[in-house]
Amino acid sequence: MSQLGHGQLRLLLTEALKLELRGKEFFLKAAETTNNELGRKMFHHLAQEEVHHLEAFSRLFTEVLGTDDWKKEIAPEELKENSAVIESLISRMKGATGKSDLEAISIGLELEKKAIEHFGRAVAVCPDIRTKEIFERIVAEERFHYDLLQAQLDSLQNTGFWLDTSEFRMDGKY
């Protein structure tokens, strides 16, 4: 397992924050374009989950670094930079007239997959046990989001109905 230097940790944090910010933007955009109320609810819920991840990252990195000086090192412009991946996904959704719900879910699946991969790499290189545990929990959440979106896609493709908010978790947790 490699040791992370300050620069590597900063890059990891910046990319994690950008991924969550762009995810939030995407899910809010998907909620706007979805005509189905249950679909809007799900996309708003996923956007809110991204906000919770951002809050967790802020606490985590302040705790790990022992200071919140890292916030000064990340320029607000860095976090506002367009993500080519997200821009491409939003562009695809705009071009999906008449099938925007299915396309939004498919794009959301891609986004969650990229998040799982990113945070999985973070788990692999993180030397700090507490940080590693947080990233493992984030990976589990992103997998849950992926599974939720996949279930929605399956439901729409097979029946045309959106699922309502589940009363149980698909990963067996209550």
- Could you tell me if 10 and 70 are in contact, meaning their C-beta atoms sit under 8 angstroms apart? yes
Rg (CA), the chain: 17
pLDDT along the chain (174 residues), means of 10: 59 77 84 82 88 81 74 66 64 62 83 88 82 82 89 78 60 55
110 CB-near residues (< 8 Å, 6+ apart): 89
Q: Which fold has domain 6-158?
A: Ferritin (1.20.1260)
Output the pTM of the full model: 0.71
**Per-residue pLDDT at 22:** 82
DSSP 21-33: HHHHHHHHHHHHH
Domain residue extents for the chain: 6-158
**Per-residue pLDDT at 113:** 92
